[in-house]
Amino acid sequence: DIQMTQSPSSLSASVGDRVTITCRASQSITAHLNWYQQKPGKAPKLLIYGASGLQSGVPSRFSGSGSGTDFTLTISSLQPEDSATYYCQQSYSRPFTFGPGTKVDI
């Protein structure tokens, strides 16, 4: 199985800050990397697919980059509604696996 790690595990930032979350795969997954946002008591929501594709309806302050084993999710100007846990997920090979999550507090 491909193992996914994320850093940091949590962070606290202020409204308007630029926030970067890192995801690393245990082997190359080319660009088969997706990012999800989960708020308490809610289902995860797809933000970014294919490492850098912005899902329809997702604000443009969210962006993704990377390929191979190292990926980043960037929130360019943090908003109060961005308080959530963020997960990366690889779809390069089954079983599809998720990172442990990064909790963002504002």
Partner 1 sequence: QLQLQESGPGLVKPSETLSLTCTVSGGSSSSSTYYWGWIRQPPGKGLEWIGNIYYSGNTFYNPSLKSRVTISVDTSKNQFSLKLSSVTAADTAVYYCVTISGDPYHFDYWGQGTLVTVSS
Shortest CB 14 distance to partner 1, Å = 26
Shortest CB 86 distance to partner 1, Å = 12
Cβ proximity to partner 1, 57 vs 80, nearer residue: 57
Alpha-carbon distance values, 27 to 6, 17, 24, 62 (Å) = 14, 31, 9, 25
The dihedral built from the CA positions of residue 57, 37, 63 and 68, taken in this order, carries a sign that is negative
Shortest CB 74 distance to partner 1, Å = 18
Residues 6+ away with beta carbon under 8 Å from 41:
none
Binding site for partner 1 (CB under 8 A): 1, 31-34, 36, 42-46, 49-50, 55, 87, 89, 91-92, 94-101
Shortest CB 48 distance to partner 1, Å = 9
Cβ proximity to partner 1, 52 vs 74, nearer residue: 52
User: Rounded distance, CA 64 to CA 20, Å?
Assistant: 10
Cβ proximity to partner 1, 66 vs 99, nearer residue: 99
* Residues paired with residue 97 on neighbouring β-strands, in sequence order: 90
